[in-house]
Chain A
Amino acid sequence: MEATISTFVLLTITGLGLGAMYFLVASGLSLIYGLMGVLNFAHGAFITFGAYVAWWITDQIGGSFEVRLLVGGACGLAFGAALGALVELVFIRPLYRRPVEQVLVTVGLALALGALVYGIWGADAKFFPIPDWTLDTTTILGANIPNDRFVEIGVAAVVLVGLIALLRFTRIGLVIRAGVENRAMVTALGIDVRKTFTLVFAIGGSLAALAGVLSGVYYGNVDPVRGTSLLIYAFIVVVIGGFGSIGGSAVAAVAVGLVQQYANFYVADWLDWSGAGDVSVMLLLASVLLLRPEGLAPKVAH
């Protein structure tokens, strides 16, 4: 019985850690689609580049693991923000009235930026320098939880609170919430919504990069397909949570992370089937689409 509880606790906190990364990716994707109607397939490249830039900086500088991780992470975030803003300004802005071309250009960017990562850093995974204490465990109800899980959950919680505060208490948040509902009417009030588009892309880019950095802490390495693998789940989270909703993304990310972990352990154990986690997430997605096609919190940024 004790082992059963400790396993459940371990799976729950690990699922929340995964959900934290899904949320960071999905929140940016969700705001970008909700506000601009852009389905950004290049978002995965923001994750990968953010992780690699963070890794590269940590590899270049001296100091403790904590300092290197903080400096590298900050650089990764800044790079993600700059990349997001650049992609919006150069590739997306000229195509705002052409949604098909927009999707094509983001797919092309995803492929090109992915190839660039291979070209610069090669195909092998890179060891991500992490402090020893993140590898230690904390015992909760008999479960030995790796400490990095708490870092991921804590960072995502801070981001969630920060995003909600941004949306609720700032002028730019007001513009984003209104823009998610009716972009044309926001411009008809005299607001240059294009500046908000660039800002939201920058926010999305930095959050994706943050997810990339945290994935480096979670897995202990970075690899060229990190962004692609996280992006698939992030898209599922966005669809379940509702496009444009930060709260919806948070709930959906937790649900996806937990379902994936529980199924990977319990169902895989029961049926001796390793793909149970992914299939369960797909079943969750299909159920939400059938019962609530607009997602948990439709088309309202909050």
Chain B
Amino acid sequence: MSAVTALRVEDLHVYLGESHVLQGVSFSVAKGGVTALLGRNGVGKTTTLRALMGLVPRTRGTVEVQGENVTRLPTHAIVRRGVGYVPEDRDVFAGLTVEENLRLSERGGDGRYDLVYDLFPELRERGRQRAGTLSGGQQQMVAIARALLNDNSLLLVDEPTKGLAPLLVTEVAVALERAAELATTVLVEQNLGVAQRVAQHVVVLDGGRVVHEGTAAELFASPERVRELLGVHGGHN
């Protein structure tokens, strides 16, 4: 099982204050491709990614990356097991330049600058610009580039198209497809058009639990099922 499993989550529970946000989340992600983590607003998608990263305290459950139990590891140690993270709202370091943001995320050896500059040529041109002065789309490029700079085996990407103009959404989707060729990707995405375009598998959360797992093609082939699980109409938007 572990030879083909990039990520296994078992009975994950998280409390944020008094709120029991994750109530026993369990799912597995096979190696390769993109798995979209879907669900209505507030069902725990972002919290799931933050819990996998060790950024919020987990009260119960197991997380395995490439067959290794990382449940008790601190965040930096999880990342060093080959996990890249693109947070919701980008979280670029506003006071640092683009080049410094990238250099900071280098881990051991040379970063894959050719790859990230090939995907986002704009970042090379804006290397000396403070990240805080970039547009939202450019900041998203920095956030994705930071995760792609290292040879990660698993990428956790949280709403990369949130708040972006349609043209930029396409650019980010292309980058995600390229990223997925390099590493198994778990994608939280509200834009179902993007999810449908890039994901092969889906995991749907509701009320802090997984309510559906399957292939993306199967889910998006059934508008009724999409409406039932996600409360929206399927298809590109």
Contact = CB atoms under 8 A, between A and B. Distances in A.
Partners in one complex: yes
Interface of A: 174-175, 177-178, 181-182, 184-193, 300-302
Interface stretch (B2-10, B21-29, B85-93): B85-93
Contacts of B146: 189
B55 A178 contact: no
Contacts of A300: 94-95
B130 to A, nearest CB: 10
Contacts of A301: 95
B105 interface: yes
B94 A191 contact: no
Contact of A178 (B75, B76, B104, B107): B104
Nearest to A181: B93
Contacts of B231: none
B140 to A, nearest CB: 14
A188 B53 contact: yes
B100 interface: yes
Interface string B88-123: 000101111000100111010000000000000000
A300 B150 CA distance: 26
Given A182-B91, A182-B93, A192 B76 contact: yes
A178 B93 contact: yes
Interface residues of B, number: 22
Given A187-B74, A188-B85, A190-B107, A177 B79 contact: no
A188 B95 contact: no
Contacts of A178: 93, 96, 100, 104
B72 interface: no
A177 B76 contact: no
Contact of B55 (A174, A184, A190, A193): A184
B227 interface: no
B80 interface: yes
B93 A187 contact: no
Which of A177, A188, A193, A301 has the most C-beta atoms of chain B within 10 angstroms of its own C-beta?
A188
A188 B100 CA distance: 16
30 contacts: A174-B96, A174-B103, A175-B104, A177-B93, A177-B95, A177-B100, A178-B93, A178-B96, A182-B91, A185-B87, A186-B104, A187-B55, A187-B74, A187-B75, A187-B76, A188-B53, A188-B55, A188-B79, A188-B85, A188-B87, A189-B76, A189-B105, A189-B107, A190-B76, A190-B105, A190-B107, A190-B150, A192-B76, A193-B76, A300-B95
Contacts of A181: 93-96
B83 to A, nearest CB: 8
A192 B79 CA distance: 10
Contact of A185 (B77, B91, B95, B107): B91
Contacts of B79: 187-190
Contacts of B80: 190
Given A182-B93, A186-B104, A192-B76, 7 more contacts: A174-B96, A175-B104, A177-B96, A184-B75, A190-B150, A191-B76, A191-B104
Contacts of B77: 192
A254 B77 CA distance: 42
Interface in B140-159: 146, 150
Contacts of A185: 87, 91, 93
A17 to B, nearest CB: 31
A58 B146 CA distance: 51
Contacts of A182: 91, 93
B58 to A, nearest CB: 14
Contacts of B55: 184, 187-188
Given A174-B100, A174-B104, A175-B104, A188 B75 contact: yes
Contacts of B95: 177, 181, 300-302
A264 to B, nearest CB: 37
A71 B96 CA distance: 39
A186 B92 CA distance: 10
Contacts of A175: 104
A299 to B, nearest CB: 8
Which of A182, A184, A187 has the most C-beta atoms of chain B within 10 angstroms of its own C-beta?
A187
Contacts of A189: 76, 79, 104-105, 107, 146
B223 to A, nearest CB: 37
Contacts of B150: 190
Nearest to B147: A189
Contacts of B74: 187, 192
A221 to B, nearest CB: 42
A301 B53 CA distance: 26
A178 B132 CA distance: 12
A115 B55 CA distance: 40
